[in-house]
Amino acid sequence: MDVYRQAADVIKAVRAGEGTAKALCLRKEMQKKKQTYAVVCETLRHYELLEDLLKTAAFFEYYPQASRDLSLCMAYDAVIGKGVNTKNDTTARAVADSVKYLRDAYAQVRRRHHIVPRSSESMDTSAFDEGEAGSTGKRARDGGDVDGEEEAMASGGVAAASLRLPRYARVNTLKIDAETLVQRLRSAAAEKRKQQQTVAKAGRILPDFTRDPVVPDLLVFPSGTDLHAHPAVRGGQLVLQDRASCLPPCVLLDAVPVTVHGPAAAAPRKPLEYVVDACAAPGNKTTQLAALGAPKIRIMALELDERRAGLLEHRVQVLGAGDYVNVNHLDFFQISSEHREATEGILLDPSCSASGVLSRVDIEVGGQAPSRRPPARAALARGEGGRRGG
Pick from 295, 283, 298: nearest CA to 349: 283
Q: Is 279 annotated as a binding residue?
A: yes
Q: Is 303 annotated as a binding residue?
A: yes
In the chain, which ranges are E strands?
167-171, 210-211, 218-221, 238-239, 274-277, 298-303, 325-329, 345-347
Task: Find out whether 74 and 113 touch, Cβ atoms under 8 Å.
Answer: no
Q: Is 282 annotated as a binding residue?
A: yes
Q: Is 285 annotated as a binding residue?
A: yes
Q: Is 88 annotated as a binding residue?
A: no
**If you ran DSSP here, which 8-state letter would residue 262 be given?**
S
Residues in the chain: 390
Q: Is 235 annotated as a binding residue?
A: no
Taking the C-alpha atoms of residue 191 and residue 189, their distance in angstroms, rounded to an integer, is 5
Question: What residues contact residue 12 under an 8 Å CB cut-off, 6+ apart?
Answer: 69
Taking the C-alpha atoms of residue 213 and residue 75, their distance in angstroms, rounded to an integer, is 44
CA angle 54, 56, 61 (to 5 degrees): 65
Q: Is 283 annotated as a binding residue?
A: yes
Task: Find out whether 221 and 209 touch, Cβ atoms under 8 Å.
Answer: yes
Binding residues for S-adenosyl-L-methionine: 279-285, 303, 331, 349
Binding residues: 279-285, 303, 331, 349
